[in-house]
Structures are given as C-alpha cells and as structure tokens.
Chain A
Amino acid sequence: MMCTAKKCGIRFQPPAIILIYESEIKGKIRQRIMPVRNFSKFSDCTRAAEQLKNNPRHKSYLEQVSLRQLEKLFSFLRGYLSGQSLAETMEQIQRETTIDPEEDLNKLDDKELAKRKSIMDELFEKNQKKKDDPNFVYDIEVEFPQDDQLQSCGWDTESADEF
C-alpha cells in the first residue's frame, strides 16, 4: 500500500509517534498512532528510531520519514521524561544537530568526530547529485568572481599578524 507522509509528531502521554498521511488509493488524510513502549529517559534515541523504522508493522508507513526526524521526536520524548521544558529540549537538539563553525574537529575523539561527520553527511546527501540522477552532469564548471570588489570573508582580520 502506498501512502504519502504529511506530518509526523510525538505524543507525550501516553507515549506514541503519530503519523498523518495521505492514502493514495482513497486520497484521504489518515492518522496512524504507533505506541512507544520500553522507552525511558535513559534510552538511546538513535536505536529507538531505528527499531521503529524497521518495525514490520510500521515500516511501509515510515518510508518517507527520515531516521533523523524520528530521532528528534524521541529526543523530545526523552526530554519530557527527564522533566525538561520544551524550550530546553529544543535548544539541546539544536546544539546536537548543528556544527559549531569554531569547533576544531581535529581535536575530537573518534566517536565525537563520527557524530559530526554524520550530521554533515545528512546535509551532503540533500545536496548530492548522483550519477544515476536524471540530468546528471559529470563535469560542472561555474565561474565565481575573484576580483577585489568582493566583500572580505571576515575571517582574515584576526590572523593578519600570523601571515
């Protein structure tokens, strides 16, 4: 059965992931409630998301919902179970899912580096043009202006003394 995911959200009490989707056969908007069991404030959100996405009963409905989104929803649930406010949880998720441009990744251990790379890979895949894509072009050349008229990147001032 084919369906188009429209919205996917979290219900805190009792815990469940709720999917609003459109059934292609009937063209109707429907709701699917997927109860979350055995999940506590100590649970791993990535594993919980993977388990739900691969659950035979839910798999076909969640095909268009990314693992990352499910992970975020479980993060909200974990925050709720920990007694965190929604704002606190959102701030934490934001911190964990973006890259600090000032952070030197050379100084991280393997696990932390892998986390950052995973975040960047997600963005990479969104922008990626693959060989099998229609209209794929192997050699894309774009000329960018490189004259002195350009605004400075703003990253050079502090390092002027170093060069």
Chain B
Amino acid sequence: MRDIWVIAENLPWAAVLIAGAQTINKEAKIVAFVNGGESEAKGAIAHGASSAFFLPLPANAIWEGYVPALAEKAKADKPALILLSASRRCRDVAAQLAALLDAPCFSEGKGISVSGDCVSGNTMVFGGLAAKNASATAETVLVTMGAKDYEPASADASRSGPVDTLPLAGNTPAVTARKPKESQSVNIGEAAKIVSVGRGFADQADIEHARTLARAIGAEVACSRPIAEFFKWMPEECYVGISGQQIKPQLYLAIGISGQAQHLYGVRDAKTIVAVNKDPEALFHQNSDYYIVGDWKEVIPALLKAING
C-alpha cells in the first residue's frame, strides 16, 4: 500500500491517528504532520511514523495557512489515505485538501477499511440517528477521526526518522488575538463517572441535587445542550452531544434528559448508561442499560440513601 499521512491537532491525537493507520494497514509507511514544534514531530516518529513534519501554530496567522503546501506535497507524493484530527482546524484543512485533490473525505469516519483502491467506512447522519456506510475509490481518500478512536501505542524513543517543516502561505488570514478560555475546573472528557442533567431540571438551583449525587459516587456533572446553550446554567464544555462533548465514561447517569439522537451520539461509547426520567416514553430508556421511570426529586434522594445505607 502507498503511504498513509496523518495530520494532527496535537501529538496525543497524532499517536491515535498513527495507531489508526497501523490498524488499517500494517505495512504502509506513515508520514505525520503535527501542530507544534520539532519535539512533536520527533514524538510522532517515536509513536510509529517513518518521517514527520512539524507545523507550528503561527503567532499572527491561522494554522490553515499550511493547506497550499500540504496540497502540493500530497499531489506529488500521492498518499493512499490521509487521516486527520476531527478538530476545528484539521477539519477545515481536511475539506480544503479534499477539494484541492478532488478527493472524497469521510467526516468522523468509523470502521475504515481498505480493499485494493476502495476505502469503506461509516459516518453518521441525521444527528446520530443512523450510520451511513459508503465506499470511495480514489487516488487519495481523506478521513477525519476522533481523539479516542484508536488506542495509541506507547512511544519508543529509540525510533528515528527525518524531521522537517512546511511553509505557510503568504496570503493567510491574520490572527490579531488568541484569548484562552478561563481554566476549567472540570474535564468531563476524562471523567470515569458522569451524572448528567437535562431539561427535567426546571431551575438552575436544582442542579445542586445532581451535584450532591455526583459527589457521593465520585462523578463529574455534565448536561444536555439546552442546559448549557439556551439556559446557560452550566459551562459549554459540560454539554454532551454531537455538537458538544463526545465521551466514553464507565458510567453515564442521565437524569431528566429525553435522549434525542444528537445527545445519545455523545455517549454511544459509554460502558454503562443509566437513565432516570419521569416520562415512561423518554427515548433514553430504550437506549440505556438500566432505567428508572420516576421524578428525579424522588430518585436522587433514594439513590443517596442506597449509597449511604
């Protein structure tokens, strides 16, 4: 097989994409392009790339300015596959590269397999309601992938390979400021246990009951989109769903969340899902491992009693 490229938002994600490339084809040579400096490029080699390019975030321009150089190189090198982080910058790069190469691109492709020149895989449609299985035969096929789609191999510092960089296009849009987010005290992406709240909570103050339960079982608190985006009762980083966080905790305890496809998509990889909803018809029940039909005002105290007693 011809080379597989990985283009990544950061080194940990590059390691995941490299593991993906090795899963798809063990023999292919992997060329990595990583946002960062020389040490990130060397890190990609330690994780299994044969050679690597570092693409530092320009201080005064957008990172997507590497697209023309990447496209020129892709046209010359003709990689069979280009795997990219499904991050904002890399998704933009993926689509621009795909257009410049007149190539197909799987967005958040799952189960990617290659047979001869034909690449197949799944993408989700209608907010996670269904998976579309599609195939494409092309010189180069692009795929964006999630940050946890594959288990990265541990780094082998003894590996070596050539490291280089690429030029930024001259007419790249200017960046006048970067304002980091205020530091978040929670990282629901890493939490093993999550208690999540939805519109079944009619008042912001009521969320405190969910927090009490979360503390009792050592969980973080997340929410559905309306709680963060419309009511702004919780920070945006806390909402789970197709346009929010996609997480895979050991336990996802959904309280007062109806269970729309867009929300379920964010927890489809959770090990165990528990739903609590007073509506017996709530979609979440049929998509849970265990469910209790009941009002959280009764269920949360009962759970606390069961934990403590």
Q: Do A and B originate from a single complex?
A: no
B: residues with CB less than 8 A from A are: none
A: residues with CB less than 8 A from B are: none
